[in-house]
Chain A
Amino acid sequence: MSRRGLKRLPALKDANRERRLFANRVLVAGVGMVVLIGLVLARLVFLQVVNHDHYTTLSHENRLKILPLPPPRGLIYSRDGTLLAENRPSFALTAVPENVPDMEAALHELRGMLNLSDDELEQFRKQLRYSRRFEGVTLKGDLTPEELATFAINRFRLPGFAVEAGLARHYPQGEAFAHVVGYVGRISETDLQTIDQSNYAATTHTGKMGVEKSREQVLHGRVGYQKVEVNAQGRILRVVERTPPTPGSDIYLTLDAGLQAEAIAALGNYRGAVVVTDPNTGEILAFVSKPSYDPNAFVNGISRALYRDLSTSPDRPLFNRALQGQYPPGSTVKPLVALAGLQYNVRSADKTTWCPGWYSLPNDSHQYRDWLKTGHGPTNMKFSIAHSCDVYYYTLAHELGIRRLHEMLARFGLGSITGVDIPGEAAGLLPSPEWKKRARKQPWYPGETLIVGIGQGYMLSTPLQLAYATGIVATRGEALIPHFLGQIENPVTEETISPDIYRRPRVELANPRYWDEVIAGMDEVVNGATGTAHKTSLGAPVRFAGKTGTAQVYGIAQGEKAKTTGVPEHLQDHALFIAFAPVDAPQIAISVVVEHGGGGSKTAAPIARRLIDHYFKGAAVSTASFAPHAEHEAPPAPVPADSPAPAAAESAPTPTEEPDPHD
């Protein structure tokens, strides 16, 4: 073959030298391949020739198969011991193909008997092709008692079919705890990539959402196995050795089942969220997102139709509003803005601002309106919180500027996740000029600072964030990370582990008295004669403080239910309320968001009140005048404006009831 036809290469390249170099390298590579293959061959000679007898013996004795045994999954309880997730015996109908004389006839018969769908039959036939003749193939899992009975009666006509027992996850509380506990589902192909495959050798399900997912490692346990003897065809003859699985640990959540139920009832038919925490520990006592869904539907694969219904429903039941719902915080942010005013020496508590009902920036004719058209008149800090005066906060926000405002609100966790121990938390949005430049490619306008001052505009927060921020105010600076994990209990040894409590650095203010000024304002909201939520305090078991909020609805939501008041429900504002109780020694912090609930005082505050009543119910019962369900319709307490609180609340004994039996 001629070489003269080579393409001429650039002058600097020495084609002959390069070809020699290349040929040289090919030679080296060839030698390398021979050596490496030689190593593999040596290994094979070692296995197949030298040790052949040894391995032949092993192979003959290899009648011992190792079968993995699934560990029972840990149970989940609420703090008071209510069972939230359990393992129930479940029964599956299986067939051993070689024992079934006429599979098609049998399937035809079973189809009518058990209402088998075409999908299930298709799945079964597919599995049949890939399985061996003497091994059971599942036809239908999780049989109902009726199906079991029907099958039992007809069993004599169905040789080769049998019922096999196993354990299946079940959530006895259904939708009440679904947004916290989550659910397990079949291990998917993608799960397989992350899990320890030998530990999950016998496990069929893994946590997909909520605590089931975040605490998967605790709940799962360790696989056990048994050595069984099989004959030459692989049939199991006897069990030789058994290493039992280590069951997963049980978990006690910080949730209180009673309080949770009360919160669900209190929300009624509204969509919304309620979060109750203990601000001293970060424990979450109630966590409700309505509407909810039944987690049991997901355990063995949700049907396509049901999933479509759930995911396309305008009520969005799968959406975890407490964790992921991002709402403008509205006026609930005002106490924090007031704190910023004190901290940066922009405003002293007793300085009054004149509120004519509107505010304008210098050199700007645009009027920013107060919710009260006639204006609040002279307004000091306490009054501004109690009456939710917008003009006061327009002025204050303008004087603070967006940077200082942003800095203070960020210290209360707005705009970042709280770090709660279930996956999927939303961070909300705390706007800043940098954010706007990055996200919107627009400069920051001074008017937007004003809007941040009243918690509207771009600003978004989750109900969980609001409860967290409220807890910081309540405890005068303690920032405990909210969490659900109360205690882990080993079901065998009954040893318990209490997880560490995580806290962020305290929110320190220049003067600790600043807390008192703002808390006094929040106290006045509820306990003052004219506070925005003064109706809520009547007959309360303890004295509590709060702040109402109303979030304007921007986009039009999907709900189409019209209300009798004329304004369609989906155009009504979201109602918000944050609260903590008792004022002096806070035990709980609450945030309530009611979607399209109208005003915070009208719908959200009474819900918080019901929870306070429930939590401190020992006290509530002792004040005999208290009527549980009528309080929000009651007339305002006839107390003078300067009186600190209604008599009923003052006389209430300090509650000492501790609802947690595990701590």
Chain B
Amino acid sequence: MIRSPNLLYRLHIDAPLLGAVLVTAALGLVVLYSAADQSIDKVMQQGLRILLGLTCMVAIAQVPPRRLARWAPALYVLGTFMLVLVLFIGHGRGATRWLDFGVVRFQPSEIMKLAVPLTVAGFMADKVLPPTLKTTALALAVVGVPAFLIIDQPDLGTAILVSASGLFVLFFSGVSWRFIRNAVLAGIVALPGFWFTMHDYQQQRVRTLFDPSQDPLGTGYHIIQASIAVGSGGISGKGWLNGTQSHLEFIPERATDFIFAVYCEEFGFLGVLILLVAYSLVLVRGMRIALEAQEMFGRLTAASLTMTLFIYIFVNMGMVSGALPVVGVPLPMVSYGGTSFVTILTSFGILMSIHTHRKFIAET
């Protein structure tokens, strides 16, 4: 029994999670300074974004989980509506991801990264678990609609993250293994069909994954150069600001999606282990919050958001080290760029809300 929660707890902030996030973000700023060619401007900008993200995190942590569950469907409908809107009036003829509201340019798919797991979790929490086939099918539809709208933009990376966040809720709600197995088998059968719906550039990315030399100026170049950066880093790395691959501009997008290559080159395998420890602290804390949640909604949301964060980490590290195709997923809390950072910190805010709004029986 927690008798007198400390100040942070009363502010609905979970200290262990906050600590782990700050450690990871600090590592991120250190490597960003190197990746951005020692531009203090960029580091300051990223710092401001972290502050913005932390503000969002603290703000959302004040909202009790039940209210989140109540708001989620509305947020989901709004987000889907905006995704449809993007199809028609979005910015950019090729890839339309942004809505322009005059002052703010806005990417509705980011909303869906939170709205989808919250909505599906809210939906599942009321049902008898494990879910029936009908419930599962409905939940799949809720995940599928925004996922296809986002693939259509086209933004494969975000589509993967959004659908993963929803599917994990299903997984944690206890969908039967038989169903999962059948779904995976169906997926494998449908794979060739999916191939033909992919955009040319996406097909190209998969092809060059298997033969990077096919495209020495484009994606293949990314993969080859990133592998050299990672490999030449060795066990202990070349040292901060000493990465030749990074500083001679062999690594494209080295401050954003490929920042992990710079990290590997300069800090080596040991550095990677440190980063993984930092991430593990976040993941373990997230799962613990899920296990300690008192209501099904909280459990499903917390577990799904934690797993989504893991997917970020896994996909990004996988693509930088050449084990997965390049799909444009940032390294969470490290890659330069604002939107994903704010979304991730907001999802931590939700975890904190779940954890700090638990009810305790007073000792009367």
Interface residues of A (CB under 8 A from B): 1-2, 4-7, 9-10, 12-14, 18-19, 21-23, 25-26, 29-30, 33, 36-37, 39-41, 43-45, 47-49, 51-52, 54-56, 58-59, 62, 65-66, 68, 129-130, 132, 189-198, 201, 223, 225, 230, 232, 234
Q: B39 contacts which chain A residues (CB < 8 A)?
A: 129-130
Give the shortest distance, in Å, between A216 (CB) and chain B (any CB). Answer: 13
Does B216 sit within 8 A of A, measured CB to CB?
yes
A-chain residues with CB within 8 Å of residue B264 when the two chains form the complex:
44, 48
Asked if B16 CB lies within 8 Å of chain A CBs, one says no
Known A26-B290, A45-B269, A47-B231; judge A33-B248 contact (CB<8 A).
no
B216 touches A21 (CB 8 A): no
B234 at the interface (CB under 8 A from A): yes
Contact A59 B314 (CB under 8 A): no
CB proximity to A under 8 Å, residues B166-204: 168, 171-174, 200-201
Of chain A, the residue at the smallest CB distance from B172 is A25
**Contact at A21–B245, with CB atoms within 8 Å?**
no
Residues of B within 8 A of A192 (CB): 94
Complex contact A37–B248 (CB within 8 A)? no
Among B269-325, those with CB < 8 Å from A are 269, 272, 276, 283, 287, 290-292, 294-296, 299-300, 303, 307, 310, 313-314, 317-318, 321-323
Taking the closest CB of chain B, its distance from the CB of A137, in whole angstroms, is: 14
Complex interface bits, B213-250 against A, C-beta within 8 A gives 1, otherwise 0: 00111110100010111111111000000001101111
Whose C-beta in chain A lies nearest to the C-beta of B90? A190
B268 at the interface (CB under 8 A from A): yes
CA distance A431 to B92 in the complex (A): 33
Residues of A within 8 A of B171 (CB): 25, 29
Q: B95 within 8 Å of A by Cβ? A: yes
Give bound CA distance, A10 to B126, whole Å: 8
Interchain CB contact under 8 A, A47 and B128: no
- Taken together as a complex, chains A and B put the C-alpha atoms of A534 and B106 apart, in Å, by 63
> Secondary structure at chain B's binding surface: helix, strand, loop or mixed?
helix
**Complex formed: what's the CA distance from A147 to B174 in Å?**
74
* Cα distance, A26 to B219, chains bound together (Å): 36
A132–B235 Cα gap in the complex (Å)? 30
Nearest 8 A/B pairs, CB to CB: A55-B231, A198-B218, A194-B94, A193-B94, A190-B92, A193-B95, A59-B232, A198-B217
Contact between B248 and A234 (Cβ–Cβ < 8 Å)? yes
User: Do most interface residues of chain A lie in helix, strand or loop, or is the interface mixed?
Assistant: helix
Residues of A within 8 A of B216 (CB): 66, 225
Question: Using Cβ atoms and an 8 Å threshold, which residues of chain A touch B227?
Answer: 47, 55
Q: Verify if B37 is at the interface (C-beta below 8 Å from A).
A: yes
18 contacts between A and B (CB under 8 A): A18-B296, A21-B174, A22-B173, A26-B172, A39-B318, A47-B231, A55-B228, A58-B232, A59-B245, A65-B248, A65-B249, A190-B95, A196-B218, A197-B218, A198-B219, A230-B248, A234-B248, A234-B249
7 additional A-B pairs beyond A29-B172, A33-B314, A47-B321, beta carbons within 8 Å, are A5-B360, A18-B129, A22-B129, A29-B307, A49-B235, A58-B232, A66-B216
Q: Between A and B, how many residue pairs show CB distances below 8 Å?
A: 180
Q: A187 CB to closest chain B CB, in angstroms?
A: 11
Q: How far is the CA of A245 from the CA of B95 in the complex (A)?
A: 28
* Chain A residues closer than 8 Å to B215, beta-carbon distance: 198
Tell me the complex Cα distance, A10–B248, Å. 63
**A55 and B287 alpha carbons, distance in the complex (Å):** 37
Q: Which B residues are in CB contact (< 8 Å) with A12?
A: 128
Residue among A26, A45, A132 with max Cβ neighbours from chain B (10 Å)? A26
Among residues 1 to 52 in chain B, which have CB atoms less than 8 Å away from a CB atom of chain A? 1-2, 37, 39, 41
Q: Is the CB of A5 within 8 A of B229?
A: no
Nearest chain A CB to B327 CB, angstrom units? 15
The answer to whether B290 and A5 touch across the interface, beta carbons within 8 angstroms, is: no
* A232 CA / B248 CA spacing, docked (Å): 8
Q: Do A37 and B314 contact each other (CB < 8 Å), given the known contacts A2-B1, A5-B361?
A: yes
Contact A26 to B303, CB < 8 A, known contacts A13-B129, A44-B272, A49-B269: yes
A29-B201 in contact given A58-B231, A234-B248 (Cβ < 8 Å) = no
- Residues of chain B within 8 A (CB-CB) of A191 are 94
Question: Is A48 within 8 A of B361, CB to CB?
Answer: no
Contacts of A39 in B (CB 8 A): 318, 323
Interface set, chain B 320-364, CB cutoff 8 A to A: 321-323, 359-361
Across the interface, name the chain B residue whose C-beta is closest to A58. B228
Complex formed: what's the CA distance from A49 to B264 in Å? Answer: 12
- For the complex, give the distance between the alpha carbons of A44 and B128 in Å: 43
Contact B217 A66 (CB under 8 A): yes
Complex contact A37–B276 (CB within 8 A): yes
Which chain A residues lie closer than 8 Å to B173 at the CB level? 22
Query: Are A2's CB and B361's CB within 8 A?
Result: yes
Residues of A within 8 A of B359 (CB): 5, 7
Distance of A562 from chain B, by nearest CB (Å): 40
Cβ–Cβ contact B2 & A1, under 8 A: yes
Cβ contact within 8 Å between A62 and B245: yes
Interface flag for B157 (CB, 8 Å): no
Q: Are A36 and B272 within 8 A (Cβ)?
A: no
Partner of A18 from the list B174, B200, B303 (CB cut-off 8 Å) is: B174
CB closest chain-B residue, reference A19: B299
Q: Is B64 an interface residue (CB 8 A)?
A: no
- B129: chain A residues at CB < 8 Å are 13, 18, 21-22
Whether A52 contacts B361 by the Cβ 8 Å rule is no
Residues of B within 8 A of A4 (CB): 361
B130 interfacial contact with A, CB 8 Å = yes
Assess the A26–B291 pair: CB atoms within 8 A. yes
Q: Are A59 and B172 in contact (CB under 8 A)?
A: no
Cα–Cα, bound, A85→B37 (Å): 41
When C-beta atoms are compared, the residue in chain B nearest to A67 turns out to be B217
In the assembled complex, the Cα of A40 lies from the Cα of B317 at a distance in Å of 7
Docked-complex contact B269 and A132, CB < 8 angstroms: no
Q: Contact check, B314 vs A40: say whether CB atoms are below 8 A apart.
A: yes
Chain B residues with Cβ below 8 Å from A201 are 217-218
Q: Which residue of B lies closest to A190 (CB)?
A: B92
B270, closest chain A residue (CB) = A48
> Which of chain B's residues has its CB closest to A201's CB?
B217
Residues in chain B near residue A23, CB distance under 8 A: 291
B93 close to A (CB within 8 Å): yes
Q: Is the CB of A52 within 8 A of B245?
A: no
Cross-chain contact A1 with B244 (CB below 8 angstroms): no
Contact of B92 among A21, A36, A45, A193 (CB under 8 A): A193
Asked whether B70 is an interface residue with its Cβ less than 8 Å from the other chain, the reply is no
Flag if B94 contacts A190 (CB, 8 Å).
yes
Question: In the docked arrangement, what's the CA distance between A14 and B233, Å?
Answer: 53
Known: A6-B294, A49-B269, A58-B232. A1 touches B1 (CB 8 A): yes
Residues of A within 8 A of B221 (CB): 66, 198
